[in-house]
Structure 1
Amino acid sequence: MHAGDTYEVADLALAPAGGRRIAWAERAMPALLSVRDRFVAERPFEGQRIAACLQVTAETAVLLGTLVAGGAQVRLAASNPLSTQDDTAAALVADHGVGVYARSGVDTETYRRHLSGALELGPTLVIDEGGDLVNTLHTERTGLAAAVRAGCESTASGVLRARQMYREGVLRFPMVAVDATPTRRLVDNRYGTGQSTVDGIVRATNLLLAGRTVVVAGYGQCGTGIAERARGLGARVVVTEVDPLRALDATLQGYQVLPMAQAAQVGEVFVTATGNRDVLRAEHFAVMPDGAVLANAGHFDVEIDIPALTDLAVERRIGERTHIDEYVLADGRRLQLLAEGRVVNLTAAEGNPASVMDLAFAGQALTAAWLATGDPLPIGVHPVPAELDRQVADLRLAASDIHLDTLTDSQRAYLSSWRSADPA
C-alpha cells in the first residue's frame, strides 16, 4: 500500500525501520488502539478527506493509522521539520497509504510547500498543530476553505490564533480546541511535556541539573510540569509569570518567583513555556551568567529573541554540540541556544512518551469522529465535549486494569438534593 505520487519523503526504503518504530509505540498506546478497533467497525470517516499538520513521529503515525482504519483519506505535513522522523514518514506512505509531505530539516520555503501539498487533498476536516495549516487555508489556499467541515487544534498557541481569527471575523469554519481538555492538560502538558522538556535539555547538554538554578518562564500546565521535573532532579527552580494567580500558585508550591530581569542574573538554565514572543530578550542576555543554557518548550520559535541574540554576539558557533549553537558575546560570555530555539522536547529528544500521546491522540481521534458524524457546528472555537474526554480516561483506565468506586443510590440522591441530610 502506498499513496501513489502524492508524497514527498526522504527515502521510501526507510519504511521497514519506520514500521518497527511505529510498532514499538503501539505497545504503549492501548486506548488509541481500542478506538481503532471501534473505527474499523463503524467507519466514521467514510468519504472524509483529512489534512493534518503534526509532528511526524511514531506516535502520530498510530493516530493517522487509526483515521485511515476509520475510512479516511489522509495527507500529512510536518509541523516541525526538526522533529520529523524520516523512517516514520516513509512507513506512513508505504504501509498506511498516507500522503506525507515531510523531510527532516527542510527550510522554510519547503515547509510552506509541504503545507500546500497536504491541502491539495481538498480536505473536509483539518487537524492542526500550531495553526499554520488553518492559516494557509485563510491566506494562500482560500478556495479550499469552503469544503472544510471543521478543524481541530492541538496546541495552546494554535488555539490562541484561532480565537483571534474568530474575534476579527475571518475564521471560515469551526475549530475545536483539543488542547484544552482536562485530560490533555493534565497528562500531556504537565506530565508529558514536563518530562520530555527536561529530557531534551539533558540529552543536548549532558548537564547535571542538581544544584543548578533553572528558570521556568510561564507557570501554566507545561511550566508546572517542567518546574516539577527540574526540582525532582535537584535543581533550584525560579519561576517568572505575568499572571498573579499562577505566580501565587508557584509561590505556594515553594518556588521563588522573580521578574525575568532579576531571574536572568541568577539563572543557569532558562526554559520558556509561555506561548508568547520575546520572553527572553536582549536586556536579559546582557546579564546572564557565562554558559547559560537557553531552551524553548513553546510551539513556535519566537519565545527566545534569536535576532537580538545574534546581534549581540561577536561569534556564533553552529553545532558546537548536537542541538547546541553557542553565541559568544563581546565580553566573552557564552550563551548556549538549544534546538535553534524550537520546541526542545521534540527536537533534542523524542517528545512526549507514547503512553502520554495515547491519551492525547485517543481524544483527537474521537473528536475528529464526532466532527465527521455529528451535526455541523457554528463557526467559532469550541471545546471538546466533556463526555469524549471521559471516554478517553475510561479507555486508558480499562487498559491499565484500574477500577473505580461507584456511587450508591443514597449517595446519588444526596448529591442531587438541596435538602438537609437526614441524620437518622
Structure 2
Amino acid sequence: MKKWFCIVLIFILIFMTGCPDNEKEKSNDSNKVEVEKSENIDKKAANVFVNNYLTYVLKGDLNGMKSFYADDLKGQIKDVPVIANSRPVSYKMESGDSEEGSSNEGKTVNFKVHIYNSGQDMPYFSDDLYNYTVGLQEGKMVITKIEKEKSTEIYEKDKALYKREGDKIKGEKVLSLADMQEYISLSNTLYPGQKIPLPKDSFGPCGISPDGKSILITTKGIPKAQNISGLAVEKGATCYFVGLITMKENEEEQESIKKDTSTKDSKQVVKLEEDKTESKGASKSEEGSKQQPQEEEKTTKEQLTVKTLDFYVGWKIKTAAFSPDGKTIMIEYIQPSGLNRIKLYKTKEGEPIELIIDKQFLPDRFGIASPYFISPQELVFTIVPAKDATSEEEKFKGQWEFDLKEQKLKQY
C-alpha cells in the first residue's frame, strides 16, 4: 500500500513541477507583445519631443538640433554659415498625425510647424511651414524626415513691400512708401491733435500675423519738422513709425466690378485709422486700369488700413514680430546707449503692454536682447548688463523666460 502511495505521490510531484514552466513561458509571450506595442510612438510624447527640439531652433543651437535627428538625417545635413541678418522669433505647431497606428499612437508621427523668421535691421519676414516626421531609432524617438511645404515672405524692393508665396519668382506688391500719408497723429504727445511728419526714407523690420491677415510695418527717416510738440527730436535724429496693416475685402468695389468690369475704375485704398482719409498715390488712372486690367483687379480685392501703434525717436528698431497666436506684437529696439530693449503691444487694441521687467531691469543698466516667443504667453530674451555693471548686476547676465500673463520671471 505504501508502495502504491509513493508512486502516486511521485507522479503528482512531477506534474506540479511542470506547471510553473508553462506559466513562465506564457508570461514571456505576454512580455513580447508589450514590447511590440511599445514600438509605437505616443502622440503626446512626440509633441513634447518636437517642442523641445524647436527651442533649440529658436536658440540657433545647431549641435542641439542635430541631437534630435536620426543617423540617416544627420548624414544629409550640411553645415552652412548662419545668416546673421535673419533669425527665428516664434513658431506654431499644428496637431500631429499618426501613421500605421491608432489616432493616439503609431509607427511614426507627423507634425506641421510654422517657423517665423524676422529680418534684423531690415524689412524682411518669412512664415515657413515644415513637416517633421518622428520615428524610433534603437527604442528612442528621433526626427527622421524634414520637408518644407511652403513659404510666405515679405520683403522690400524700390521702397515698396512685396509679398511672395511658395516658389514664385515675383512677389505681389502690398504697399509703397508713396501710398502712405504724409502726416500721422499720436496720442502720446502734449498735443494729441497735432500732425507729425511720417518718416518715409525706407521701410524697417516687418512681420506677418499667423493668420496672414495683418502685416506689422515700420518706416524710418529724418522728419522734415524737428519741433514736434511733446517729442524730444534732435536735429538729424532718425525716427521710426510703427503701424499695423490690416487687409480687408472691399465689398462695395467688388460688387461694382462684378456688375461692370469694363468701365469701373480700380484703386487700392490705404487709410490711416485715426484720420480715415485716403492717401496720395492711392488711386489709379483710367488709362492705367485699361493697360493693366489683371493687376488692377488683384489690387481691388483688398482694402488696406493702417493703425498707428507708436513713434520712436532716436531708437533703432531691430526686430518686429507677432506672438504665435497673433495677439501680441513685439518690437526690439536699440537705445542711443547701445543697449537693446523690447516693447510689447496688444494687437487688437494697439495699446502698449506695461511690463514688470522694465522696473526689474532698468533701461540704463540692462539690455534686453534677442527676444523670441516659445508660446503665446512666454517670451525668452537675453539680459546684457551695461559696460560699467557692478558684480551684482553681472549675475543677471544670461537668458531669462518671462510669463506675460503672470508677469513672472525666471532664468531659462
Same fold (TM over 0.5): no
State TM-score, norm by structure 2: 0.23
Higher relative contact order by CA 8 Å / sep ≥ 6: 1 or 2?
1
* Structure with more strand by fraction: 2
State TM-score, norm by structure 1: 0.22
